Amino acid sequence: MTAVAVPVESGLRPAPTVLKRPEHTVEIVSDSGEGAQKCGQIFGAVSAKMGNGVWTVEIIPAEIQPPPRTAEGASGNRIRFGTGPVTNWGDETNLVIAFNEQVLLGRHLLGTMAGDAIVLLENSWATNSNPDIRAAWDKALAELSAQSYRIIEVPMEEQCLTIDENPRKGKNMFALGLLAYIYDRSLERIEDQIAYAFRKKSEEVFQRNVALMRLGVEWAAANLDFRIDVPTHPPTEALVVMNGNEALGMGALASGMELCAMYPITPATSVSHYLAEVFTKFGGILHQAEDEIAAVGVAIGASYAGKVAFTITSGPGFALKTEFIGLAVMTETPLVVMNVQRGGPSTGLPTKVEQSDLLAALFAEPGDAPRVVIAPATIEECFHSVITARQIAETFRAVVIILSDANLSTGVQPFPRPQLKKEWLAPELDLAPVKEGQRPYEWDARMGTSTRAIPGQPGGMFTVTGLSHDEGSKVAYDAGVHQHSTAMRSRKLAVLQQTLLRPALYGDQDGDLLVVGWGSTKGAIEEAVDRARAEGIRASSVHLTFLSPLQPGLKEIFSRFRKVMTVEINYSDQRGDPFITEENRRRGQLAMLLRAQTLCDVDCWTRVPGEPLRPGLIHKAIRDAALTPGGDQP
Amino acid sequence: MTSHCAILPVLDDDDREFELDDYEGVTARWCPGCGDHSVLTAVEKLLVAEQLKPEQTVFVSGIGCSSRFPHYLKTYGFHGLHGRALPVATGVKLHRPDLEVFVVMGDGDCCSIGAGHWIHAIRYNIRMVVMLLDNSIYGLTKKQTSPTTPQGFKTNTQPFGSFLPALNPLTTTLGTTNVSFVAQTAEWVPAHLYATLRAAYRHQGFAFVRILQRCPLFTQGMYDEAVRNPGMIELLVHDDGVVAPELDKIYKNRVAHDPSDLDAARRLAEDGGHIRLGLFYRNEARARYDLLRKPPKVTSSERIALLNAELDHYAV
Ligand SMILES: Cc1ncc(C[n+]2csc(CCOP(=O)(O)OP(=O)(O)O)c2C)c(N)n1
């Protein structure tokens, strides 16, 4: 591994100051189409490979091509990396590379930058031929300079023009070079990563990008008076690094599912982009249906015909699928549904994170349709959740919904390389004749399950129906039959629950406050708990993977804390808001569920900022809750 | 051969011979006089004639009177959601191309709530037989206007007469990209019905058959005149079309039509006062999604090796 060779004649310049930091958070922002995301992805991946803990988040504007040079149009990547594991995007950025002053201003106005942030800013706009642009630069710089940021102007375009006549295209690689120098990243690894990123392009494109990156390194070495050292711990075990949607796609491959039917919707679609490239060689089909309803119908048809199939979607698409999900429950056709949640209601915040589909995932169906709901909390869990989901779906002839979200979908994190197992794969179709007299819904009252015949099995011919039916799948509206069959469909959840482990506590076994979370907030919650505990606050947290059925033991765990509070990215009324009383207060979705299930007074702290929760804010909420009186669980 | 043949230990498939009662399910509970009965009879006859293995055959339906169809057969069946039979059938066929798939839909089912799926299923052109049992009314929900209800016909939701001209499922189908088989028949002309279904079954692709159908309760009399007077019916005839010589003497009104001629098919499908029965269009050269999407067979070990190679790209 070659560290960056610094091409500076010794003696001419003082050696750069090296700032040693346990972690750093970098943002690179540009107009859409200028490639900041690619730069960030490569930097994040290389950092992980060199042995930093990493969490990256994409910064995505709402439009595909927002007008250039606008504060709202910032597109790019945020990379938090540290010497130890990094489990969330953190609070504020320490270093920003901006391709124009307007996107930088946008980040500043959103409050994403630390007060002492270092800024590397493209400065060609200061001398642009357009007087409006020059005026905008002056105005923005006046605002930014009034802050305590350290702003370093960088002639990125001017430099890139020495290699490529279109500087817009090369700046991202130049910026990557700046980062490589500042953080002393391995150029070999960066080149490997560039090669992979441009694997579909020509050798010439690869060479040009490498040259631009090296130009950035040289410029930084000649002009910057500092470097930042975030010590790395080269990993002791094999790791892989990917985002949550890639992990879901790979989980599907590792679980042996062979059909995915979907309809494009952000932020779920990239699961299908990944599968579209590789699924066929795994013997699978990625079917882009005419709409979400068709997509889930195709998946159900495929599952009915033999092996569990799956569909991927996000909130609005999930809403459309609900009638079919009810049918899958009623016909007991195994099905896996991945819902990569986004902000709602309606089309809401297409590219931004929220956890508002929990209750919809649990209940949004015609009638009583019990189904399993699980929520991965990390990129690694995105991978494993699919395997678990397929196995549960198959074992219980059930619908399993995986609730991921926009934070996980684009978040990139290293995790231990999975050791693939044959048992994870769906078994081959068994088309042996069914045994004589076997009926399609001969429920085993201890499990709620029954063995089904699939097309191709002689002797098993029956018609599945979404209408109420008896053990022979015969349409039957009798009171007794409906009561019994509903009980059997429900019993599966109770049986599954008995196989689940009690959730592990993070922190002490008792105390003043227990924070309960689910899904992608885990890292931020645990970091906030750590900070609170360091201050002597008696707070712990517990993170739920299973939301339906809930993991066992919750009531007992809650009883050991004076207060219980969920932290979620969905809406709840805040205490003290006008019109809000204890009676009419709308609570966070998990809080609502836990109150109903445990009869405990579960409070909630929730926000819907359209960005992942920051550990700093959770920490403050923990402090407020733990240090105020009240609570006292029954 | 009894209906339990399938569970005999080791059976050489070719030795089995299926009779009518191998396909018969529970007694159909449609109204007396409902056209669905005669479609069921024709289908059972087809299953026997073509010797389809009951366990390899799947009838998929939506919701409506006609969608009860699968329950009355002893094959595999999927009775799902209103308007959504085609996506389910698509899933079955994509995953299990070895299965014989038949789809049964009502006119509300197919042309109203399921219209989006219908258009796309035509385009996918996956091999299956699709029967539109068109009684021009919502039967199961008791006489509401359907897209194929004739203008002026009184229903419970449009009691002063249906406002708009009826949708023509034939022109819609024939106007859709990649259409490959379109026929029309009538449930009260059993020989034609049977011959049409047979041609549909033998078609390599998406075979769409509109079956004109009487509803004794809600469209009473709609086809009385056509049933009484064969002169109202025009048969499309061609050596490559639906061939039912026994009808020659009864139906004298005939138009020669080559089913490979799409323009002529579209002209003939326009309402012209006549009820036209026959094969409007057939083209086996159309792109077939089920053939284009056939994935390779991959063993478990191959899968694991492939995924390991995949993980290598992401390795730290
Ligand atoms: C989503 C949904 N909407 C409405 C219904 C009620 N519904 C059941 S059958 C039907 C119409 C049936 O008419 P058609 O499809 O023409 O079939 P037919 O009964 O005439 O055979 C309707 C509207 C339903 N079951 N599901």
DSSP string for B149-201? SPTT---SSSTT---SPPP-HHHHHHTSTT--EEEEEETT-HHHHHHHHHHHH
Question: To the nearest whole angstrom, how far is the Cα of A25 from the nearest Cα of chain B?
Answer: 20
Mutate to test the interface with A, among B95, B110, B292 (most CBs of A within 10 A): B95
Report A:146-205 residues touching B (Cβ under 8 A).
196
Tell whether A294 lies on the interface with B, counting CB pairs under 8 A. Answer: yes
> Is B83 within 8 Å of B101 (Cβ atoms)?
no
Dihedrals phi, psi of A424, to nearest 5 degrees: -70, -25
- Residues of A with CB below 8 A from B75's CB? 461
pLDDT at A63 over 90: no
> What pLDDT, on a 0 to 100 scale, did the predictor assign at position A169?
79
Tokens of B51: 């010797």
CA of B107 to the centre of ligand 1 (A): 9
B9 has pLDDT over 50:
no
Give residues with Cβ within 8 angstroms of A163, minimum separation 6: A170, A208, A211, A212, A215
Q: What is the mean pLDDT of residues A594-617?
A: 96
Which residues on B lie below 8 Å from A460 (Cβ)? Answer: 55, 76
pLDDT of A631 > 70? The answer is no
- Which residue type is seen at A423? E
- Residue B59 predicted with pLDDT over 50: yes
Instruction: Give chain A's end-to-end CA distance (angstroms, integer).
Output: 59
Q: How far apart are CA A411 and CA A531, in angstroms?
A: 23
Report whether pLDDT(A11) > 60: no
Q: Specify whether the CB–CB gap between B107 and B147 falls below 8 A.
A: yes
Q: Are strands A75-82 and A23-30 parallel, antiparallel or unpaired?
A: antiparallel
Chains A and B: how many Cβ contacts under 8 Å?
213
**A436: contact with B, CB 8 A cutoff:** yes
pLDDT at residue B7 is higher than 90: no
Inter-chain CB proximity B307 and A465 less than 8 Å: no
Task: Tell how far the Cα of B67 is from the centroid of ligand 1, in angstroms.
Answer: 9
Omega before residue A549 within 30° of 0, cis: yes
A306 has a pLDDT exceeding 50 = yes
Best CA proximity match to B290, nearest among B152, B19, B91, B79 = B91
The whole-angstrom distance between residue B166's C-alpha and the CA centroid of its chain comes to 20
Share of chain B above pLDDT 70, in %: 96
Q: Which of B140, B210, B212 to mutate to test the pocket of ligand 1 (most atoms within 8 A of CB)?
A: B140
ipTM above 0.90, yes or no: yes
Q: How many residues does chain B have?
A: 316
One-letter amino acid at A67 equals P
For residue A274, the chain B residue with the least C-alpha distance is B310
Q: At residue A604, does pLDDT exceed 60?
A: yes
For residue B6, pLDDT beyond 60: no
Q: What is the pLDDT of residue B2?
A: 36
Closest alpha carbon within chain B to A305: B92
Which of A56-60, A100-104, A315-319, A369-373 is predicted least confidently? A56-60
Contact by Cβ (8 Å): A309, A260: yes
CA distance B91 to A262: 12
Report the C-alpha gap between A207 and A220 in whole angstroms: 20
Ligand 1 centroid from CA B106, angstroms: 8
β-pairing, B275-282 with A285-288? Answer: unpaired
Contacts 24+ apart (CB under 8 A), B24-27: B24/B72, B24/B73, B24/B74, B25/A463, B25/B70, B25/B71, B25/B72, B25/B73, B25/B74, B26/A474, B26/B71, B26/B72, B27/B72
Distance CA A497, CA A430 (A): 28
Q: Which two tokens stand for residue A313?
A: 């979607």
The alpha-helical segments, DSSP class H, found in A258-367 are: 269-278, 292-304, 315-331, 358-363
A283 → closest Cβ in B58, B89, B296: B296
Q: Is the pLDDT of residue B56 over 90?
A: yes
Which of A98, A146, A145 shows the shortest CA–CA distance to A120?
Answer: A98
Residue A113, both tokens: 């930058």
Confidence at A634, pLDDT banded by 50, 70, 90:
very low
- Chain A CA closest to residue B69: A463
Ligand 1, atom nearest to B138 Cα: 13
Q: Which of B293, B310, B316 sits opposite A414 (nearest CB)?
A: B316
- Centre of ligand 1 to C-alpha A628, Å, is 58
Mean pLDDT value of segment A496-515: 97
| Mean pLDDT, residues A222-234 taken together | 95
Q: Which atom of ligand 1 is nearest to the CA of B67?
A: 21
**pLDDT tens digits for A29-44?**
999 889 999 999 999 9
The overall average pLDDT reported for chain A is 94
For residues B1 and A149, the model is more confident at: A149
- DSSP SS3 for A91: coil
What was the pLDDT predicted at A199? Answer: 87
Q: A290, B120: Cβ pair inside 8 Å?
A: yes
Q: Does the distance separating the beta carbons of A436 and B84 come in below 8 Å? A: no
pLDDT above 70 (res A632)? no
Contacts of A301 in chain B (CB under 8 A): 60, 78, 87-95
pLDDT at site A363: 96
Q: How many residues does chain A have?
A: 634
Of A302, A417, A462, the CB nearest to B91: A302
Per-residue pLDDT of B124-169, as tens digits, reads 999 999 999 999 999 999 999 999 999 999 999 999 999 999 999 9
Nearest residue, CB atoms, B91 vs list A239, A279, A309: A309
Which helix (DSSP H) or strand (DSSP E) does residue B61 occupy? Answer: strand B57-61
Substitution target in B78, B293, B298 with the highest count of A β-carbons within 10 Å is B78
Q: Is the pLDDT of residue A449 over 90?
A: yes
Closest CA to A36 of A144, A171, A223, A163: A171
- pLDDT tens per residue across span B208-261: 999 999 999 999 999 999 999 999 999 999 999 999 999 989 999 999 999 999
**So what's the pLDDT on residue A154?**
97
How does residue A596 score in pLDDT terms, banded at 50, 70 and 90?
very high
Tell me what the mean pLDDT of segment A496-520 comes to: 97
Is the Cβ pair A463, B59 closer than 8 Å?
A: yes
Q: Who lines ligand 1 at CB under 6 A?
A: B 63-66, 82, 106-109, 133, 135, 137-141, 146
The closest of B260, B278, B110, B285 to B199, measured between CA atoms, is: B278
d(C-alpha B216, C-alpha B222), whole Å: 9
Q: For residues A538 and B13, which has the higher predicted lDDT (pLDDT)?
A: A538
Tens digits of residue pLDDT in A322-348: 999 999 999 999 999 999 999 999 999
Has residue A532 got a pLDDT over 80?
yes
pLDDT at site B12: 52
Instruction: Pick the residue whose CA is nearest to atom 24 on ligand 1.
Output: B82
Q: What is the pLDDT of residues A477-498, one digit of tens each?
A: 999 999 999 999 999 999 999 9
With 90 as the cut, is the pLDDT of residue A633 above it?
Answer: no
Q: How far apart are CA B77 and CA A210, in angstroms?
A: 59
The DSSP output letter for A83 is S
What CA–CA distance (Å, rounded) separates A242 from A251? Answer: 12
Of A282, A305, A457, which has the smallest distance from its Cβ to B306's Cβ?
A282
Predicted local confidence at residue B4, as pLDDT: 37
